[in-house]
């Protein structure tokens, strides 16, 4: 009887694990598709790389930040794909990192869930020039993802419905 | 972790289950799924939580492209000789020189030296096989595409982007992203070396001097990447020490300190002495990297 119980419990676990593995594999495959979509939106800018930010929605707010370098005489395009987001997030782009309290917000948008949004550094530079006259050229920006708290989220053992990813693909003008 | 790794984990767990079920019955108090929970947490933490603070490093092609736009001229025979590739028997040297040769290939391609670029593609392919990234270059289609488009600079550049993208995806899928900072350290050092070499020949190139200075901004994140605990199995001590020396020397320049202190300063300009000091450190590090 004990053996039967062990076998049954283990079988259930294996089935659950297989399902989870399958879901995770599908999640990753979707991200690859979204990268391609985001890359297409960069054109005619030249692809330079991507940064996928993974997170789990929790009951409390979180922030994830990505630093991106901007070099002289070069215009950049950022393509954000939010098709792996189970809930919406807010994207904020700053001139400095989060340790600098006086940092300048250059652009903010939400409604990225299920969409692909493109941002160009020319508009970020304009915002910077307006908010900080004589600030010079932006040499890097900090892309900050404000991830809202979700009531009832599983903080310790997130399920698939809590897993999210933001795909950021970067390109530069030749 | 990838689908392959997940499958492996599943097979391992299934085998574990099979073995357990063949043995004697366990006491009831050990009939729990502790291992299951542990596995699930590991999967969750490893795969689905990016660091709170992360960064994106530019591709070797972008760096080469920016240097070229800043006036970098082509000099033959200053890149790392492809003949050195076979001397790199240590994995660290192979990884570093994978980066060095990537920068050299970009330098040649952007300067319309396709035949030289082709040689670099060959050694990059060989090194990739040695460092476990042969899948990036499998099917040999990249070399065929290179040969087919050897007269077309744009097509070769697109091919380089494909290689970069394949490498990036492969490293992400196989949980090897921590190693990308090692490749990048090699590529960064080579890019800086090429810039310094040309700048020393013609100090009138202000744009090039600015670009060398600007590339210094990346260094702190390269060092941070090298210090990733996942790299602890690789003997990176000497490399980190040399890169930190470059960083602290640069930070200590009076010109840099004045720039940081002045809120209204918009561009940093190094003195000739600063460039000389920085250039010497770059050349020393580059020699250590390319010498077997």
Q: How confident is the model at residue B265 (pLDDT cuts 50, 70, 90)?
A: confident
Q: How confident is the model at residue B137 (pLDDT cuts 50, 70, 90)?
A: confident
Query: What does each C-alpha distance from B148 to B113, B135, B141, B155, B157 come to in angstroms?
Result: 15, 21, 10, 9, 13
d(CA B65, CA B146): 19
pLDDT tops 90 at residue A6: no
For range B273-282, the mean pLDDT: 96
Q: Is the dihedral of CA A47, A75, B181, B229 positive or negative?
A: negative
Q: What is the pLDDT of residue B20?
A: 36
Nearest Cα of chain B lies from the Cα of A33 at a distance, in angstroms, of 12
Q: What is the DSSP letter of A159?
A: -
The larger pLDDT score, comparing residue B115 to residue A1, is at B115
Q: Which residues of A65-83 are buried (b: 16+ CB within 10 A; e: fewer)?
A: bbbbbbbeebebbbbbbbb
Q: Would the CB atoms of A46 and B48 count as touching at under 8 Å?
A: no
Cis peptide before A44 (omega within 30 of 0): yes
Q: How confident is the model at residue A72 (pLDDT cuts 50, 70, 90)?
A: confident
Tokens of A126: 């304009």
Q: How confident is the model at residue B207 (pLDDT cuts 50, 70, 90)?
A: confident
Ranges of beta strands (E only) in chain A are 46-56, 62-69, 76-84, 90-94, 105-109, 116-120, 140-147, 163-172
d(CA B183, CA A51): 17
pLDDT in tens, A124-173: 999 999 999 988 999 999 999 999 999 999 998 888 889 999 999 999 99
Q: What is the pLDDT of residue B29?
A: 35
pLDDT in tens, B11-22: 443 433 333 333
* Averaged confidence pLDDT in chain B: 84
pTM, rounded to two decimals:
0.83
Residue of A17, A48, A72 with shortest CB distance to B13: A17
Residues 46-75 of A with CB under 8 A from B: 46-56, 62-69, 71-74
A48 three-state secondary structure? strand
Q: Would the CB atoms of B172 and A9 count as touching at under 8 Å?
A: no
For range B64-84, the mean pLDDT: 93
Q: What is the pLDDT of residue B38?
A: 41
Q: What is the pLDDT of residue B56?
A: 95
d(CA B240, CA B235): 10
Tally of CB atoms within 10 A around A174:
13
Task: Kindly report which listed range (B17-21, B86-90, B106-110, B182-186) carries the lowest average pLDDT score.
Answer: B17-21
pLDDT tops 50 at residue B234: yes
d(CA B76, CA A7): 69
Q: What is the pLDDT of residue A14?
A: 64
Residue of B6, B33, B59 with shortest CB distance to A24: B6
pLDDT in tens, A24-48: 788 888 999 999 999 999 999 999 9
Q: What is the pLDDT of residue A174?
A: 80
Q: What is the pLDDT of residue A94?
A: 98
Q: Would the CB atoms of A68 and B165 count as touching at under 8 Å?
A: no
- For residue B52, give every residue at least 6 positions away whose Cβ sits within 8 Å of its Cβ, in sequence order, or none: A62, A63, A64, A65
For range B141-158, the mean pLDDT: 89
- For residue B171, give every residue at least 6 positions away whose Cβ sits within 8 Å of its Cβ, in sequence order, or none: B133, B177, B179, B180
pLDDT in tens, B158-206: 999 999 999 998 998 888 989 999 999 999 999 999 999 999 988 777 7
């Amino acid at each position: 009887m004990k053996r039967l119980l062990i076998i049954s419990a283990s079988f259930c676990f294996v089935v659950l694990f297989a399902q989870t593995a399958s879901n995770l594999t599908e999640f990753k495959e979707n991200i690859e598709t979204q990268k391609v979509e985001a890359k297409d939106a960069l054109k005619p800018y030249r692809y330079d790389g991507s940064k996928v930010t993974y997170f789990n929605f929790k009951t409390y707010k979180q922030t994830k930040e990505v630093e991106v370098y901007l070099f002289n005489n070069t215009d950049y395009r950022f393509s954000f794909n939010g098709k792996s987001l189970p809930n919406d997030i807010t994207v904020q782009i700053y001139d400095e990192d989060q340790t600098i309290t006086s940092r300048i917000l250059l652009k903010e948008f939400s409604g990225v869930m299920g969409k692909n949004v493109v941002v160009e550094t020319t508009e970020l530079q304009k915002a910077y020039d307006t908010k900080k006259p004589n600030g010079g050229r932006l040499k890097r920006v900090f892309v900050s993802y404000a991830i809202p708290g979700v009531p009832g989220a599983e903080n310790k053992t997130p399920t698939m419905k809590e897993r999210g990813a933001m795909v950021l693909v970067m390109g530069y003008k030749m | 972790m990838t689908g392959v790794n997940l499958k492996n984990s599943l097979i391992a767990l299934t085998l574990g289950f099979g073995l357990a079920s063949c043995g004697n019955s366990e006491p009831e108090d050990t009939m729990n799924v502790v291992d299951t929970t542990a596995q699930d947490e590991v999967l969750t933490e490893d795969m689905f939580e990016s660091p709170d603070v992360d960064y994106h490093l530019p591709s070797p092609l972008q760096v080469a492209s920016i240097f070229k736009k800043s006036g970098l001229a082509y000099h033959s025979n200053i890149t790392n000789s492809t003949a050195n590739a076979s001397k790199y028997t240590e994995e660290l040297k192979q990884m570093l020189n994978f980066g060095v040769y990537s920068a050299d290939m970009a330098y040649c391609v952007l300067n319309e030296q396709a035949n030289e670029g082709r040689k670099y593609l060959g050694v990059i392919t060989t090194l990739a096989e040695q460092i476990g990234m042969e899948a990036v270059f499998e099917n040999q289609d990249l070399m065929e595409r290179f040969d087919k488009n050897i007269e077309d600079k744009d097509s070769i550049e697109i091919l380089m982007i494909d290689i970069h993208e394949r490498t990036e995806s492969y490293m992400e899928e196989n949980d090897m992203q921590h190693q990308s900072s090692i490749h990048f350290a090699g590529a960064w050092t080579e890019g800086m070396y090429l810039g310094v070499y040309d700048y020393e020949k013609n100090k009138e190139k202000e744009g090039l001097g600015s670009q060398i200075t600007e590339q210094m901004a990346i260094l702190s994140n390269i060092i941070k990447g090298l210090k990733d605990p996942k790299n602890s199995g690789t003997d990176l001590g000497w490399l980190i020490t040399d890169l930190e020396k470059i960083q602290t020397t640069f930070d200590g320049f009076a010109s840099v300190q004045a720039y940081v202190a002045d809120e209204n300063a918009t561009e940093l300009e190094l003195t000739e002495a600063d460039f000389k000091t920085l250039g010497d450190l770059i050349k020393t590090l580059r020699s250590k990297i390319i010498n077997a």
